[in-house]
């Protein structure tokens, strides 16, 4: 009880005494659970955090010397910066053959914009068969294993909110043909959600604190505390191919990118990134910049729009490089960061709608407007912590078909269209006649299993006599 009294006092000092408002009415199990939840919060640092990030908004602190980041263009013959992609591909393939690469999917997000009832990775994304997102990645990993003779192990970061449902999904589907010991799941950390007006931690129910996953940046610590890094070391893995759960056509382990990351003269092999040429200045992608001699991503909402509209004499955007959130990190880099007791990525603040109870009356609140502040860490804030970080241009149609929103841009529909467009291009390059509505719209729907193809060359010869009729729906 002395401990309980001390905890009450600590809560008082932290400005959060309401967390015990319903304590006396809880069962002893629920009391124990609530105390455990409270103990997991760093109460002592809360007042400053709440002042600076919940009640206040941290100022946008832009470095004075922002310039566009250099990058390796998708076309290695581009006059922007010619480079030898064959050599880097060979270097990346050697890493894959030697088993030095792991795949890593961050799947702990809440996917609120999509509004799908379940972990986002279970979403039926395939253009024809409704293949789930996780299946795309599993098959991409199997195909990579087939090509290079070594199956890359796959690490899937969940959150405490979707962990069990994610694992059950894999169990139900027999791990999509992967060996069980090749897949490791681990939950990321969480943060309490805060009341937007008062800075008080929200209660989801009388005995439960409302929490949110602590952002994809939480993956760096979660890799360490879960034992995933140690597991990688044991398997001889040196590089982590990082991608998000929302992009079905991502290349799960790209040899050219791996080769650049590990061997390019301007890379420290610590953290590297893919970029996409922004389609228009207002496009909502983080922007690769250099400041203070380090590559970094600045959020689109932070870089003044006039700067984002700047153009080069040839008409191209000066700040062209947008982030599709595809990275490679070395195991050593993540270990180095975690070994520093002072290491912490910065918090980012987002206003959200979070169902909760009134802390005084216990009445349920289903907010129609944002009522809460969520604090998250972003993985890209680690880029400037690398000594030298390279950026490699990806082709949009080849590897970016994200599912973020229920409708409109970056939705299931746009993703299916891009899947079809990419498949149509690959098939046509292999000699298959494809019907088109116009130059960028096939008059059919095609879904390619990654087991069939993870790059254009894989399609050669698979269906030499294939006939695709107008409006056909084809899964290969």
Residues that bind ligand UTP (CB under 6 A): 106-113, 120, 157, 188, 213-216, 218, 244-246, 376, 404
Nearest distance, CB of residue 243 and ligand UTP, angstroms: 8
Q: Are strands 101-106 and 239-244 parallel, antiparallel or unpaired?
A: parallel
Q: Which residue intervals of 68-132 are DSSP H helices?
A: 85-97
Judged by beta carbon, residue 89 or residue 296, the one nearer ligand UTP is 296
Judged by beta carbon, residue 85 or residue 244, the one nearer ligand UTP is 244
Nearest distance, CB of residue 114 and ligand UTP, angstroms: 6
- CA 369 from centre of chain: 26
User: Rounded distance, CA 455 to CA 402, Å?
Assistant: 18
Nearest distance, CB of residue 220 and ligand UTP, angstroms: 12
The number of beta carbons lying within 10 Å of the beta carbon of residue 171 is 10
Do residues 253 and 152 touch, judged by C-beta distance below 8 A? Answer: yes
Nearest distance, CB of residue 71 and ligand UTP, angstroms: 22
User: Rounded distance, CA 321 to CA 56, Å?
Assistant: 31
Judged by beta carbon, residue 78 or residue 112, the one nearer ligand UTP is 112
Select the residue whose beta carbon is closest to ligand UTP and give its number: 109
Nearest distance, CB of residue 160 and ligand UTP, angstroms: 11
Judged by beta carbon, residue 24 or residue 369, the one nearer ligand UTP is 369
Q: Which residue intervals of 355-411 are DSSP H helices?
A: 396-399
Residues 6+ apart with CB under 8 A from 432: 463, 464, 466, 468
Tracing tokens 């400053």 back to the chain, one arrives at 48
Judged by beta carbon, residue 37 or residue 110, the one nearer ligand UTP is 110
Judged by beta carbon, residue 120 or residue 163, the one nearer ligand UTP is 120
Nearest distance, CB of residue 297 and ligand UTP, angstroms: 13
Burial 356-369 (b: 16+ CB within 10 A, else e): bbebeeeeeeeeee
User: Rounded distance, CA 71 to CA 62, Å?
Assistant: 21
Judged by beta carbon, residue 191 or residue 391, the one nearer ligand UTP is 191
Judged by beta carbon, residue 132 or residue 259, the one nearer ligand UTP is 132
> What CA–CA distances, in Å, run from 330 to 37, 254, 279, 343, 422?
33, 15, 30, 17, 30
User: Rounded distance, CA 389 to CA 272, Å?
Assistant: 5
Nearest distance, CB of residue 223 and ligand UTP, angstroms: 12
> What CA–CA distances, in Å, run from 335 to 223, 288, 331?
9, 24, 6
Nearest distance, CB of residue 237 and ligand UTP, angstroms: 20
Judged by beta carbon, residue 191 or residue 262, the one nearer ligand UTP is 191
Output the CA angle 65-298-413, nearest 5 degrees. 150
Judged by beta carbon, residue 108 or residue 199, the one nearer ligand UTP is 108
Q: Mind spelling out the 3-state secondary structure of 321-371?
A: EECCCCEEEEHHHHHHHHHCCCCCCCCEEEEECCCEECCCCCCEECCCCCC
Nearest distance, CB of residue 214 and ligand UTP, angstroms: 6
Judged by beta carbon, residue 123 or residue 319, the one nearer ligand UTP is 123
Do residues 172 and 135 touch, judged by C-beta distance below 8 A? Answer: no
Judged by beta carbon, residue 131 or residue 377, the one nearer ligand UTP is 377
Nearest distance, CB of residue 13 and ligand UTP, angstroms: 28
Nearest distance, CB of residue 96 and ligand UTP, angstroms: 23
The number of beta carbons lying within 10 Å of the beta carbon of residue 247 is 25
Nearest distance, CB of residue 20 and ligand UTP, angstroms: 27
Crossing angle of helices 163-172/133-148, nearest 10°? 60
The number of beta carbons lying within 10 Å of the beta carbon of residue 409 is 11
User: Rounded distance, CA 138 to CA 241, Å?
Assistant: 14
């Amino acid at each position: 009880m002395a401990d309980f009294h001390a905890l009450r006092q600590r809560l008082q000092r932290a400005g959060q005494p309401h967390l015990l408002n319903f304590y006396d009415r809880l069962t002893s199990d629920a009391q124990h659970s609530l105390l455990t939840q409270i103990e997991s919060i760093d109460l002592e640092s809360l007042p400053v955090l709440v002042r600076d990030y919940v009640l206040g908004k941290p100022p946008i602190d832009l470095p004075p010397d922002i310039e566009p980041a250099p990058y390796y263009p998708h076309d290695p013959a581009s006059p922007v910066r010619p480079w030898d992609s064959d050599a880097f591909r060979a270097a990346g393939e050697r890493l894959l053959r030697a088993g030095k690469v792991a795949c890593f999917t961050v799947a702990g997000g809440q996917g609120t914009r999509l509004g799908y009832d379940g972990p986002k990775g279970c979403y039926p994304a395939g253009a024809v068969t409704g293949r789930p997102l996780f299946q795309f990645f599993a098959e991409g990993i199997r195909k990579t294993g087939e090509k290079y003779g070594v199956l890359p192990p796959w690490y899937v970061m969940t959150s405490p909110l979707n962990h069990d449902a994610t694992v059950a999904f894999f169990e139900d589907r027999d791990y999509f043909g992967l060996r069980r010991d090749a897949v490791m799941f681990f939950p990321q950390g969480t943060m309490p959600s805060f009341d937007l007006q008062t800075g008080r931690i929200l209660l989801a129910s009388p005995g439960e604190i409302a929490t949110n996953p602590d952002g994809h940046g939480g993956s760096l610590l979660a890799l360490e505390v879960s034992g995933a890094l140690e597991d990688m070391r044991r398997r001889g893995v040196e590089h982590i191919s990082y991608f998000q759960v929302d992009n079905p056509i991502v290349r799960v382990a790209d040899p050219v990118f791996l080769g650049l990351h590990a061997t390019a003269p301007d890379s420290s092999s610590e953290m590297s990134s893919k970029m996409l040429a922004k389609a228009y200045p207002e496009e909502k992608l983080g922007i690769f910049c250099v400041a203070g001699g380090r590559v970094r991503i600045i959020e689109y909402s932070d870089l003044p729009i006039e700067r984002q509209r700047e153009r080069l004499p040839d008409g191209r955007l000066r700040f062209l490089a947008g982030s599709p959130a595809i990275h490679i990190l070395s195991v050593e880099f993540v270990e180095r960061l975690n070994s520093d007791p002072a290491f912490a990525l910065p918090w980012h603040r987002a206003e959200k709608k979070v169902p909760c109870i009134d802390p005084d009356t216990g009445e349920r609140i289903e907010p129609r407007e944002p009522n809460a502040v969520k604090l998250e860490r972003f993985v890209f804030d680690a880029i400037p912590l690398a000594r030298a970080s390279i950026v490699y241009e990806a082709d949009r149609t080849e590897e970016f078909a994200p599912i973020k929103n229920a409708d409109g841009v970056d939705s299931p529909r746009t993703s299916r269209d891009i899947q079809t467009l990419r498949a149509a291009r690959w098939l046509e390059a292999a000699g298959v006649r494809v019907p088109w509505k116009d130059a960028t719209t096939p008059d059919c729907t095609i879904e390619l299993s990654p087991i069939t193809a993870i790059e254009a060359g894989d399609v050669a010869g698979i269906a030499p006599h294939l006939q695709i009729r107008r409006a056909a729906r084809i899964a290969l």
